[in-house]
A and B are shown apart, each in its own frame.
Chain A
Amino acid sequence: MIKFKNSEITPEKIYNNRRSFIKNLGLAAGSMLVGSNLFTSADASSSKDELKLTDYRYVTTYNNYYEFGTGKSDPVERSQKFKTNPWNIVIDGEVENPINLSMEEITEMFPSEERIYKLRCVEGWSMVIPWQGFPLNKILKKVSPTSKAKFVKFISVLDPEQMIGQRFPILDWPYKEGLRIDEAMHDLTILVTGLYGKKLPNQNGSPLRLMVPWKYGFKSSKAIVNIKLVEKMPTSSWMKASPKEYGFYSNVNPKVDHPRWSQATERVIGGGIISPRIPTTMFNGYGDEVAGLYTGMDLKKYF
């Protein structure tokens, strides 16, 4: 069938991707002490060939960002005029030194590093993306959380004038998410300011978003304006929308199905019509690093 003809066109693209992947891998491993450890874990779960970078084109045109609409292409089409400057982020709550930082201050204070992470969406697809950012713990350490700080709440921007999706009761706006403090302090959890070496595109959550690679994509809030350290477990927008379907933890787990969809397999974005689904791995392949956070916990109950 002609389908195969299409795949003959792609090797060049894949080849370039593979080269840049190797290049980035080298750079990242060199610049980070823990780097090699982070990537090998992903390699162990899925073979090396499967960890190809997803096309920049797909990363930036296929997005879930309901503030701009529920369609996958809505974010890229409707976010280009979104104003991200000036932008301030308040970090407060159960902390000793609450701060209010502008994006300029953030980029100055926290040098960005590259992290190649796999993003697994709860809808059953995945991408591999070279992010630029810094560990969330660096910013949290700056504000000195108190002993009452058990959880971290992330509040995204509320701006229905600019975000058409917020004019409808799709979710409890502004978008809210949360992590347990030890999850937030984990070195894999990063705040993102860019991808593919470029400034973070609006449709990907500019100017500042979260990336928690072992959890489903919706846990990684976009366009964050407030990081609040709290004592009680925050209720995320998705938990509020459907508590039976979206738990607080939302760790990638092939054994715990979403009540309506299976989570056993996933489709790799950009693979084309002939590429098969691949098995989903526990903690999205980051189990070596993060499984310890959940020892003794029944992850079927705490989904």
Chain B
Amino acid sequence: MKSYFKPSIFILGVIPFLLITYKIFFNKLGPEPVKEITHFTGEWTLVFICLTLSMSPLKRFTNLTFWVKVRRMLGLFVFFYATLHLLTYIVIDYRFDWQQIADDVVKKKYIFIGFAAWILLIPLVITSSQKMIIALKHNWKKLHKLIYIIAIFGSLHYIWLSKTIFFKPLIYSLIIIFLLLLRIRFKKTT
């Protein structure tokens, strides 16, 4: 079980990427392919944020430690899909039209907060190795609490870009709020 757990999570994490690649190459993206890719990669970023945040609560409830062993990988998948999401926007959607992109980042709050969330992911990726965990000691834990802010930014990004909060933006926000509330509880009881 143990030895298969990590590789199978990795394979599951790659499946959305394979799916969207297949759809791109076989023209299965429907009427608005660019938006489809953008939404697909964006939504999977949120899914992986939720999964990453679920690992320590799961460890608590099940008393099994293997959950947190895949947390880093899940976190890296967050960055992977977030980067694909950003690249879709920059390369495919706006074709390196930097002026328009800069304009969007400054003027549109959902773009701003989405971009901020991606920037905040970078220090987490850089310090994700075992070496860095050791080097940073207790600061590592503090630094990696950034994922809470990233999660909130991510759900705000989704709410602000949608015409109404119904229903997906609302569902993701509620899941993220729930996962964050679990943490507050933990601290008070321990």
**Interface set of A (CB-CB < 8 Å, partner B):** 2-3, 6, 9, 55, 58, 61-62, 66, 70, 72, 123, 125, 168, 170-171, 241, 257, 260-262, 264-265, 267, 269-270, 272-273, 276-277
Contacts and interface: CB of A to CB of B under 8 A. Distances in A.
7 contacts: A62-B31, A70-B167, A170-B166, A261-B108, A261-B161, A272-B27, A273-B33
B140 interface: no
B115 interface: no
Given A260-B161, A262-B100, A273-B92, 6 more contacts: A58-B31, A62-B32, A66-B164, A123-B163, A260-B109, A273-B37
Contact of A270 (B31, B100, B110, B160): B31
Given A6-B27, A62-B31, A62-B32, A262 B104 contact: yes
Contact of A257 (B92, B107, B110, B163): B107
A267 B35 contact: yes
Contacts of A70: 163-164, 166-167
Interface of B is mostly: helix
Contacts of A276: 95
Contacts of B32: 62, 72, 125, 267, 269
Interface of B: 24-25, 27, 29-35, 37, 92-95, 100, 103-104, 107-110, 160-161, 163-164, 166-167
A254 to B, nearest CB: 12
A171 B167 CA distance: 13
Contacts of B37: 273
A89 to B, nearest CB: 28
Contacts of B166: 70, 168, 170
B110 A273 contact: no
A72 B100 CA distance: 27
A3 B26 CA distance: 8
User: Nearest 9 pairs between A and B by C-beta?
Assistant: A58-B31, A62-B31, A6-B27, A273-B33, A269-B31, A170-B166, A2-B25, A170-B164, A260-B160
A267 to B, nearest CB: 6
Contact of A277 (B25, B30, B93, B160): B93
Contacts of B29: 273
Contacts of B103: 262
A131 B166 CA distance: 31
Nearest to B162: A70
Contacts of B104: 262
Nearest to B160: A260
Task: Count chain A CB atoms within 10 A of each CB in B107, B161, B166 and give the residue with the most.
Answer: B166
A171 B166 CA distance: 10
Given A58-B31, A61-B31, A170-B166, A262 B24 contact: no
Contacts of B108: 260-262
A32 B47 CA distance: 54
B22 to A, nearest CB: 11
A70 B93 CA distance: 23
Task: Count chain A CB atoms within 10 A of each CB in B31, B100, B166 and give the residue with the most.
Answer: B31
Contacts of A265: 100
Nearest to A7: B27
